[in-house]
Structure 1
C-alpha cells in the first residue's frame, strides 16, 4: 500500500482512530493490507473480517506478533496495536481500496483494466498480466481474488510506480460487479462471455447478462470496451458502451472481429491459431490446452494492443506462458498416463469445452477417461445441465466416465441413458472411492480429465492421480 497517515486511513474508512504507544494521527503506514493473520508481514494492516467459520477479531493479536502495525476492526480488541474502529470491516476494505487507487491514479499514469465473464476470467487475467508486465509494473490478482475481499486486496497492492492494475470481477448476485468495479472505474473493460455459471444465483442467463454489463456501466467515460463478438449477449453490450461514450474493440473468430483467430488447432502440447490484428497476421503457439483458451488470448491481445503494446510483443509474451493457473487445464502425470487437472471451477460451458479438448488431444490407441464432479451454483438449472454434460460425454465417445459425488449423480444417470453401459460409466460417492478405482483402472496410453466445481474438491483428486502416475 502507498504511504498513508493513520488519520488518512481512518478518514477513508470512516472509522474512529484509537492510538497505541507512540503512534500519532500523522504516523505513516505503508505495509501490505491483509485479512489473514497467517500471511501478515511487518508493517502491515490487518483487517479483522468476520467470517462464516470464525471471526478475524480473534486473530488481531496474532497479526500483531507477525508485524501488523494497524488493525481495522468492528469493535476494539485487547491487542497492543493502533486500531481503526469501523461499522463494517469488508466495506472499510473497499473504501480504503477506492481511496488508494484514486490517489495513485491522480498522481501518475495508472491504467486500470477490468475483466468479467462467466468463464475464463482468471486465465485472461494471467495472460494479460504476462503481456503488460514487460511494459511496466503490473498488479494483478493472486489466483481468483475477484470477490468483495479479494478484489480490494488486489487494488491495495498498487504503488505510485504501478502502471497497470488488472482487476478480475466475479459475482454470485446482481449488483456485485457494479460495487467492485465502481471502486476504480476501469479505463478498459473486458467481457469474455455470458454463460450458465452462477445462473442459479442470478436467476437465469438474461439476469447474468445484465450483471456482466455492470462492468461496462462502471467504466470511466471515454474508455474502451473489449467485447466478444461471437457471443450475442456480450455483443449486445455495445449499446451500454455507447452510453458511456466508450470505444468498442471486438475479439472473436468472425470477420467482424478487430482481433480475430483462424485455423485453430488443439494438440497435446497446447493450442495454436493464426491471430489477425488489422492487416497483420501472426501464428500463436500457446502452451495452454484447449480451444476455449484462444478466446482468452484474443481478449488479452485486444486489451493490450488497445493500451499500446505492439501486436508482435503480445504474441511473443503469450508464447512464454506454460500454465494458465494451477488446477486449470494443468498437465500432470507422465507420458504413460497423462492427467489434465481442470477442477478449480466448472460451468456447463467450461465442462463442455474441457471434454471437447480431451477428445481432440487423444490419439488413436489412447483411451479417454473423464473424472467428473458437480457443477455448483446452477440453482433450478442444475438437473438439466448435468444431464446435458452426461449426454455430451457419451456423444464425444469418452471411453470411461467416472462420476464422483451425489450432487453429480444425474450426470452419471444421463450418461447411462445416452448409451454408456458395461462399466463405461461408473459412479462413486467420494473422491477416495474414485481414487482407489482409478489406481487399478488406468493404464498406459490413458488421457484423463479431472473436472468439477471447486466445492466438489476433485482438484485434490487430480493432484493425487498426477503424483501416482508421474
Structure 2
C-alpha cells in the first residue's frame, strides 16, 4: 500500500513524542482496532460510547504499526496532548500537501448519495479519494481527510450536522474548492427551530471555501435566498444553481421515472444533455445533476460524467433494491432504513408509487422521523397523502412519533403499529410472502436496518 505518512511526518504534524518506533511508514490511518493492516496508524480517539485507549493493545496485537495516544506509554506509540486533535493535525497535513480538486458536500437530504455520484464521475476521470459510508462528523471528516493520498487528483468529503456551528470547523478543515448544498429540509429541526435556521447552518460550509471557489446550490427549495445571501456575504463570487426551477444554471427538464430507471434532459449554456440513471426517482435526478455541475466546474467533460452516472448505483440503507428468493416470484426489498426526514420520506414514497410488486402486495414499513421537535406530530401526520398515493396495501409503523401518522391514516388502514423494531420483526416474518414488494424507511435511530437484515435472512436462502 502506498505511504500516507512517514513517522517523521506524523511527528511534525502532531508535535508528538515517539516511543519504541522504527522508521516504518504508515499506509493507513484508522480508529477501529478491528480493521487494521500491518502498516496502519491506530488513533485512540475518545467517542461517545468507547475510548480508543482501551483498545490500543488490541490494535497493536492485531498488527497496527503504531498507535497515536494521549495517555499511556509503551513501545510503538506516538504520544500527543489530545488524540482527536492529533487526527485533525494529520488531516491538515494531508490537505496542505494535496494538489487535488476538493469538493465538500452537505445538505438535509441526499448528501451521501450526491457524494457517491460525484465520486463515481471523478473515478472515471482520475485518481479519486472520497469519504466512506457517512463518515461526516467531528471525527469522521478528519479521519477521511487524513487518508487523502498525496497522489489523488480529486477528493470528495461529506459534512453532516446535528446542531449549529458544526459545519464551519469541518469546512475550514477540508477547505473545498467546490461546496455543494443538496437541499434544505426539516431534518434536526428540533435543534434549529426553523428551516431558515437549518439553511444558515448548512451555509457554514461557505466559511471554508478556498479563494476563488464555487458554491453549487440546489434551487428547488424556499431557503435558496438564505443560502445565496450567505454565499455573497462570505465573498463567494462563483455561485452555480441546479434544479427544476426556471433560470437555474443546470436546469432539469422532462423527467421520467420507472421502477428502476430515471430519464431527464439537463440544459446548461443552452445545450441539452440526456441523463439516464440506473436508479429511480426525481430526487436521484437532482443528485446526479449536482454531480454534473461539480464535474463541469472541476474540468471533467460532460460526456464522461454522463457515461459514469449511467452506471451509478444506490447504497445499502439509501434505496438499495434486492430481489430475494426464487426468480419467478421473489420478494423485492427496498432498503431506505438509514435515515428519514419529511423530504426524503416523500421522495421514497413517490418512487415506491411507481413500483409494481413481483407477484404479491405492496408493503411499507415506516419508522419515526426523529429530532423534529414541536412540529413532529404535524409533520408525521402530513405524510398521509404520500403514503396513500404510494399504493401500499399493507402499512406497518414503528415508533412513537408515527402515532400521529396512524391517526391521520385511520387505524383501520394500519396493518400493525409497534413501539420498536424488535417488536415488529416477528410480525413481518409471519405476514410477508414471496411476490411482495416491501420498502423499509425511517430514521437510523429507530433501528429498521435490523428489520431489513431479518427480511433478507428469511427470504434470501429460499
Is the pair's TM-score, using the shorter chain for normalization, greater than 0.5? yes
Shift of 1:332: 1.8
Instruction: Give the Cα separation in 2 of the matches to 1:157 and 1:446.
Output: 43
Shift of 1:431: 2.8
> Is the CA contact (8 Å cut-off) linking 1:34 and 1:40 kept in structure 2?
yes
Partner of 1:388: 382
Q: Secondary structure at the match of 1:276?
A: strand
Instruction: Give the Cα separation in 1 of the matches to 2:446 and 2:124.
Output: 37
> Is the CA contact (8 Å cut-off) linking 2:357 and 2:435 kept in structure 1?
no
Partner of 1:9: 10
Shift of 1:429: 3.2
- 1:19 maps to 2:19: yes
> Is the CA contact (8 Å cut-off) linking 2:357 and 2:436 kept in structure 1?
no
RMSD of the alignment, in Å?
2.3
Equivalence map 1:48-447=2 (5 Å): 48-77=44-73, 79-86=74-81, 88-104=82-98, 109-242=99-232, 243-321=234-312, 323-334=313-324, 335-362=329-356, 367-390=361-384, 392-394=386-388, 396-416=390-410, 421=412, 424-443=414-433, 445-447=435-437
Moved more, 44-53 or 278-287: 278-287
> Is the CA contact (8 Å cut-off) linking 1:333 and 1:467 kept in structure 2?
no
> Is the CA contact (8 Å cut-off) linking 2:215 and 2:236 kept in structure 1?
no
> Is the CA contact (8 Å cut-off) linking 1:277 and 1:311 kept in structure 2?
no
Partner of 1:30: 26
5+ residue gaps, structure 2, are none
Instruction: Give the Cα separation in 2 of the matches to 1:356 and 1:245.
Output: 35
> Per the alignment, do residues 144 and 293 of structure 1 end up closer, same or farther by CA in structure 2, a change over 3 Å counting?
same
> Per the alignment, do residues 3 and 302 of structure 1 end up closer, same or farther by CA in structure 2, a change over 3 Å counting?
closer
> Per the alignment, do residues 4 and 337 of structure 1 end up closer, same or farther by CA in structure 2, a change over 3 Å counting?
closer
> Per the alignment, do residues 207 and 10 of structure 1 end up closer, same or farther by CA in structure 2, a change over 3 Å counting?
farther
**How does the TM-score come out when normalised to structure 1?**
0.90
Partner of 1:44: 40
Instruction: Give the Cα separation in 2 of the matches to 1:424 and 1:237.
Output: 40
Shift of 1:3: 5.1
5+ residue gaps, structure 1, are none
Shift of 1:442: 3.3
1:304-334 CA-to-partner distances (Å, cap 9, x unmatched) read 011111111111111112x221111111235
> Is the CA contact (8 Å cut-off) linking 1:172 and 1:202 kept in structure 2?
no
Shift of 1:444: 5.5
Q: Secondary structure at the match of 2:354?
A: helix
Instruction: Give the Cα separation in 1 of the matches to 2:236 and 2:382.
Output: 40
> Per the alignment, do residues 350 and 245 of structure 1 end up closer, same or farther by CA in structure 2, a change over 3 Å counting?
closer
Instruction: Give the Cα separation in 2 of the matches to 1:76 and 1:275.
Output: 57
**Equivalent pairs, count:** 454
Partner of 2:444: 454
Instruction: Give the Cα separation in 2 of the matches to 1:8 and 1:339.
Output: 48
> Is the CA contact (8 Å cut-off) linking 1:372 and 1:403 kept in structure 2?
yes
1:243-277 CA-to-partner distances (Å, cap 9, x unmatched) read 42431111101331222221212211222222222
> Is the CA contact (8 Å cut-off) linking 1:358 and 1:447 kept in structure 2?
no
Q: Secondary structure at the match of 1:232?
A: coil
**How does the TM-score come out when normalised to structure 2?**
0.91
Instruction: Give the Cα separation in 2 of the matches to 1:81 and 1:283.
Output: 55
> Is the CA contact (8 Å cut-off) linking 1:45 and 1:70 kept in structure 2?
yes
> Is the CA contact (8 Å cut-off) linking 2:125 and 2:304 kept in structure 1?
no
> Is the CA contact (8 Å cut-off) linking 1:191 and 1:234 kept in structure 2?
no
1:39-98 CA-to-partner distances (Å, cap 9, x unmatched) read 121122111112333321111111112232332212124x43132222x32222122201
> Per the alignment, do residues 115 and 3 of structure 1 end up closer, same or farther by CA in structure 2, a change over 3 Å counting?
closer
Q: Secondary structure at the match of 2:54?
A: helix
> Is the CA contact (8 Å cut-off) linking 1:272 and 1:283 kept in structure 2?
yes
> Is the CA contact (8 Å cut-off) linking 2:245 and 2:251 kept in structure 1?
yes
